[in-house]
A and B are shown apart, each in its own frame.
Chain A
Amino acid sequence: MGPPALSPFAAGICGLLLLLIPFAYAGLALMNSGLGRSRSAVHSLMASLAVVGVASLVYVICGSAFQGYPGRAAFALSAAGKDWNWIGAGRLFFGGLDFDSGSGAALAACFGMFAAALAAVIPLGAGEERWRLGSAAISTAVLAGWTYPLFAHWVWGGGWLAGLGTRFGLGAGFVDAGGAGAIQAVGGLAALSVTWLLGPRRGKFSADGMPTAIPGHNAVFVTFGAMLALIGWFGLNSAAAILFYGASPARIGLIGVNTVLSAGSALLTAALVTRTRFGKPDASLSANGWTAGLAASSAGAAFQVPAEALMVGLVAGVLVTLSVEWLELHLKIDDPGGAISVHAVGGMWGLIAASFLGHFPAGAGEGQWMAQLTGVATLLGFIFPMIYGLNWTLDRIARFRVALDGERQGMDLHELGANAYPELVSHLEDVSQR
């Protein structure tokens, strides 16, 4: 299901939509900072800026060449009598791209740069308060320069996952209209690997394994960040649908409606679940629910009717709330930003939901559920072990975790030399007892 050539009008609209995408990672960065403690507030945002910069640079250098675009040069393996297009063979530094003509390939390269940066910000939420800035930057370089472009080629660059429909009769092939898999799940699985390699924050789990609540320092950041992210998601879902699935610019309205519905319904169910369990709705978990709705909407917002988007969000809100609790209580995973639950779980739910809640272009028939499950299987069975292995190796070279003293002091003071809030006494548990 390759995209048709873009009209000048569509190319212009797409270019404007791309410029909205940074709001998505601005929102996530604000949420991550708010969900951490004040002692690491500016370090969290500084890390977000750093990984955006690194991801953008590395993607321009080599990521775009690996991601490619349908119809452009690529490498394929031959197996079982079929060609498996597995990686782009483009030129480094955006070489060979014509930015003046508004070509799909050029706009897709720009989209990829923003998308790689978004995927890179996601793991920061899991590594809050203990992931060293330099290590995060190095891990980001690998994510943006290799892991994300590889999977994005399979999904959007003419690769084998998108071709499951034409080659193996699986519906319209694996569909990921806004990056629920390529961006959200990849970022969320990277977050899982980072969490495991870093271990929990000091004091998070007691000696008998019970989790201690470490509330975020600024719920206003968290909730406003969620709202800001919505603007970015408008750009993400709409631009990807136009670039990779041939959606008409007129569809932007429907995509926007579906995105908001999914986020809003996820927020409402998350608020309802937390109110039922804890007596009052929890603002942070509800904001995470909103973001999970956004992540889930990225799979099929371009191909769903509003009622379907609503259902996707309703389930996403429940899933993320239960997942956050389950990961912490039962699996002993310390994920301050909820990155794993929001992005990995939310994104994969969106992909699975697109199997039965979506109306794909002509030619798609039975087997869409198998195509979506193949994509999910690829994320879990290949991409996740690869991410974990790469991060494990990097951890041996450039230690991921900050020293104990640094964690006690706070990342702001330890790595940046200055607190975000120098007038506040924030380390109450470290102030000597009277």
Chain B
Amino acid sequence: MKLAGFLLLPAGWVIVLSAIALLPPGLARGAFLLAGLGVEALGLVLVVRAHMPEPPPEGARR
């Protein structure tokens, strides 16, 4: 999960760069930029979850 997250982060960044480099000014450019940020956010979520400790097993709780 950690690796997937760290791959999604630069993937989202590349989408952002592609949007500003390849698309003309307008709605599509803004939409793709936000989509790239969304991919980054997903990657960050995966990285965060990969670093969170495992919850204790059910039987261990009182």
What residues of chain A have their CB less than 8 Å away from a CB belonging to chain B? 79-80, 82, 164, 168-170, 196, 205, 207-209, 331-333, 366-367, 370, 373-374, 376-378, 380-382, 384-385, 388-389
Contact = CB atoms under 8 A, between A and B. Distances in A.
Given A381-B13, A385-B6, A370 B48 contact: no
A370 B29 contact: yes
Interface residues of B, number: 30
A373 B56 contact: no
Given A373-B33, A377-B16, A169 B9 contact: no
Interface string B51-62: 111011000110
26 contacts: A79-B21, A80-B21, A80-B22, A168-B20, A196-B51, A205-B53, A209-B53, A209-B56, A331-B51, A332-B52, A366-B25, A370-B30, A373-B16, A374-B16, A377-B33, A380-B9, A380-B12, A381-B9, A381-B10, A381-B11, A381-B12, A381-B40, A381-B43, A382-B13, A385-B6, A388-B6
Contacts of A169: 25
A25 B52 CA distance: 31
Of listed B21, B29, B56, residue having the most chain A CB within 10 A: B21
B46 interface: no
Contacts of B9: 380-382, 384-385
Interface string B13-42: 110110011100100011001101100100
Given A377-B13, A381-B10, A382-B13, A208 B61 contact: yes
Of listed B20, B29, B44, residue having the most chain A CB within 10 A: B20
Contacts of A170: 20
Nearest to A330: B52
A380 B53 contact: no
Given A79-B21, A382-B13, 15 more contacts: A80-B22, A168-B20, A205-B53, A209-B55, A209-B56, A331-B51, A332-B52, A332-B53, A373-B33, A373-B34, A374-B20, A377-B40, A380-B12, A380-B40, A381-B13
Contacts of A384: 9
A131 to B, nearest CB: 17
Contacts of A332: 52-53
Contacts of B44: 380
Contacts of A331: 48, 51-52
A80 B23 CA distance: 11
Contacts of A168: 20-21
Contacts of A82: 21
B24 to A, nearest CB: 9
Nearest to B56: A208
Contacts of A208: 55-56, 60-61
A163 to B, nearest CB: 11
A378 B56 contact: no
Nearest to A377: B16
